[in-house]
Copies of this chain bind each other. A is one copy, B any other.
Amino acid sequence: MDNLTVALDAMSGDFGPRVAVPAALQALTQHPNLHILLVGNPTEIESLLSQKENSKSSDILSRLTIIESTSVITHDAKLSVAIRHSQGSSMRIALELVKSKKAQACVSAGNTGALMGLAKLLIKPLPDIDRPALMAVLPALNQGKTVILDLGANAECDSNMLVQFAVMGSIMAENILGIESPRVALLNIGEEEVKGLDSIRAAAATLRAHHKINYIGYLEGNELLTGKTDVLVCDGFVGNVTLKTVEGLIEIFLSSLRLTITRKSWWMRILGIWLQRRVSKNFGHLDPQQYNGACLLGLQGTVIKSHGSANQKAFVAAIEQAIQSIEKNIPDRIAMSLSLALPKSDNS
C-alpha cells in the first residue's frame, strides 16, 4: 500500500493533545507508511513532543506535520453555533484537509453533532445517502463481530434512513468483516412484527422485500453481543444509549473482577494472575478501549469519531480504523454498491 495520510483533530476529546500526541507517535511507529497531520495549538503540541522519547527519531518526525488551528469546538456547543464559529477550529481544519485531498481520512474525539454537521457540509454525503451514520464494529461473545449503526449521529430517524443504514451496514460487514450475505436485523422492543415504532415497522417491510439484503427480523437488547446478527440497525439515540450501556457494564464488570482478584494474600494473588488471564481470554476482547473509533458512514471520505474519553490506546485504535477504511477504500465501495435502488428519506 502507498503512503497513507491521516489528519488528527489534536485538540478534541477530554484530554486534547495530551492523548492525541502520544497516540500519533505510537501510530507512526507502528505504521511506517503513515503520515499524520496534527491539527492544533503548535506550542502545546511541540511541548508534548519534546517530552516524548520516540519523537526524537527523525523518521517519525519526518512523517508528522503540525497544522495550526486557532480555536476548539467545545463539547457543549449548540450545533448551529458550533458550525457558525467553526472557522479556524481544529475539527474544521482536519475535515478541510480531507476535503482538499491533503489527507485521506480524519480522526476527531470532538463534539459528535458538530463533526457530523461539518462533515456533511465539507465532505458531503454520498449521492444516495440522506444522512451519514455513526457505525462501530462490536465484538460478540463467540468471537464474532457485529456492525452496529447509528450510534448517535442522528437522534431521530425515519424508516428510509434506517433502510439506508441497513444497506451501508451490510456493505461494511461484507467488506470489513468478510461476511458473505451478512445477516441484518433491526433493534426493537419485541420480536413480533407489530412491536415498536412506526419507523421501524416500515423499515422492516422495505427490508423484507429488499432482494440484496439478508434481513432476519427484529432483535432485542438482550441479544446484543450474542452474535445473532452481523449488522444491527437502530436510530442514533437508542444506539448511543445502548452502546454506552454495554461499555459501562463491561468496564464495571472488568474492574470489579480485578478488585475481586487483587485484594488477597500472596497465594491468592498468584491465583489471581492465572484467573485474570482466563477472564481476559473470555472478556478482554470486549474492552471498550480496544474497539474505539466509530466510522461516520455515508460520506465521500473517511471520518472517524473517537470517544471523548479515549485514552492513548483507544485513540490509536481510532487511527487504526481510519487506516483500515483508507486501505479498504470504504467510501468508494459504498458508493459503488449504492447503485442499487435506495429509498429517499423524508427527513433529508
Chain A interface residues toward B at CB < 8 A: 75-79, 112, 141, 152, 155-156, 187-190, 192-194, 196-197, 220-226, 234, 236-238, 240-253, 256, 259-260, 271, 275, 278-279, 282-283
- Bound together, the chains give a CA A234 to CA B188 distance in angstroms of 16
User: What residue in chain B is nearest A221 (Cβ atoms)?
Assistant: B244
Contacts of A155 in B (CB 8 A): 189, 196-197
How would you classify the secondary structure of chain A's contact residues: helix, strand, loop or mixed?
Answer: helix
* Copies of chain A in the complex: 2
- Bound together, the chains give a CA A260 to CA B277 distance in angstroms of 11
With both chains docked as a complex, state the minimum distance between the C-beta of A310 and any C-beta of chain B, in angstroms.
Answer: 13
- Bound together, the chains give a CA A223 to CA B221 distance in angstroms of 17
Please, could you name 30 A-B residue pairs with CB atoms under 8 Å apart, sorted by A? A76-B193, A141-B256, A152-B189, A156-B197, A188-B241, A189-B240, A220-B241, A220-B244, A220-B248, A221-B241, A221-B242, A221-B243, A221-B247, A221-B248, A223-B248, A225-B249, A225-B252, A237-B238, A238-B238, A238-B241, A241-B241, A245-B246, A246-B249, A249-B249, A249-B253, A256-B282, A259-B282, A260-B282, A271-B271, A275-B275
**A222 and B196 form a contact (CB under 8 A):** no
